[in-house]
Amino acid sequence: MFKKVFYNLVKRYRHSTVPGWIMLVIDVLMFAVAFTVSQLFAWRFDSHMTWHAVMVNLAICGCVTLFFFYLFKTYRSIIRHMGLNDIFRTLVACVFMALTCGVLNFINNRIKVFPTTSNIIPSYRIVIMLYSLLALLMLLARFTILYIYNQYFKRRRREINLVIYGAGAAGVIANNALKQDIHFEYKVVAFIDDDASKVNQQLDSVPVMRARDVLNPKFVAAKEISQIIIAIPTIRLMHKQAITNRALDLGLTVKSVPHISLWMNGTFTANQIQDIKIEDLLQREPIKIDNINVVREVLDKTVLVTGAAGSIGSEICRQLLQYKPKKIIMLDQAESPMYDLQFELKNNEPYKKYVDSMVFVIANVKDQPRMEEVFEMYRPNLVYHAAAYKHVPFMEENPYEAIYVNVFGTKNIADLAIKYGAEKFVMISTDKAVNPTNVMGATKRMAEIYIQSRSTDQTHFVTTRFGNVLGSNGSVIPLFKKQLAAGGPLTVTHKDIIRYFMTIPEACNLVLEAGAMGQGGDIFVFDMGKPVKIYDLARRMIQLSGLKNIEIKEIGLRPGEKLYEELLATKENNIPTYHPKILRAEVRKYPLEDIDRAYGELEDIMFTLDDYRIVAKMKEIVPEFISNNSIYCDLDKKTEK
What counts of helices (H) and strands (E) characterise the chain? 24, 22
Compute the distance between CA of residue 208 and CA of residue 217 in angstroms, rounded to an integer. 18
DSSP 131-178: HHHHHHHHHHHHHHHHHHIIIIISPP-EEEEEEEE--SHHHHHHHHHH
3-state secondary structure of 274: strand
Rounded Cα distance, 272 and 274, in Å: 6
- 197: which residues sit within 8 A by CB, 6+ positions away? none
Contact of 284 with 305, CB cutoff 8 Å: no
Return the axis-axis angle of helices 410-419 and 368-378, rounded to nearest 10°: 30
CA pair distance 147, 102, nearest whole angstrom:
35
Distance of CA 286 to the CA centre of its chain: 14
Question: What is the enclosing helix (H) or strand (E) of 129?
Answer: helix 124-148
CA angle at 89 for the pair 85 and 94, rounded to the nearest 5°: 150
Q: In 467-563, which ranges are E strands?
A: 468-470, 490-492, 498-499, 501-503, 522-526, 532-533, 552-554
Marked catalytic residue, from 432, 444, 617, 619: 432
Query: Could you give the CA distance from residue 343 to residue 398 in angstroms, rounded to a whole number?
Result: 33
157 with 185: CB under 8 angstroms? yes
Q: Counting beta carbons within 10 angstroms of the beta carbon of residue 343, is it exposed (0 to 12), middle (13 to 18) or buried (19 or more)?
A: exposed
Main-chain phi, psi angles of 571, to 5 degrees? -95, 5
Residue 205 and residue 191: Cα distance in Å, rounded?
10
Beta bridge mates, 382: 303, 424
Nearest to 24, CA basis, from 59, 73, 97, 58: 73
Of 513, 572, 570, 518, which is closest to residue 288 (Cα–Cα)?
A: 513
Q: Which residues contact 222 (CB under 8 A, 6 or more apart)?
A: none
Compute φ and ψ for 232, nearest 5 degrees.
Answer: -130, 90
Residue of 614, 469, 461, 480 whose CA lies nearest to 545: 480
What HEC string does 414-436 produce? Answer: HHHHHHCCCCEEEEEEEHHHCCC
* Degrees to nearest 5, angle at CA 17 with 15 and 20: 165
Task: Check if the beta carbon of residue 289 is closer than 8 Å to that of residue 579.
Answer: yes
459 burial type by CB count under 10 A (0-12 exposed, 13-18 middle, 19+ buried): buried
Instruction: Tell me, yes or no, if 432 is annotated catalytic.
Output: yes
- Exposure b/e, 371-403, CB count within 10 A at least 16 = b: beebbeebebbbbbbbbbbbebebbbebbbebb
Cα dihedral sign, 403-404-408-413: negative
Beta strands across the sheet bearing 302-306: 358-362, 327-332, 302-306, 382-385, 424-430, 460-466, 522-526, 582-586, 573-576
Strands 424-430 and 460-466: parallel
Active site residues: 432
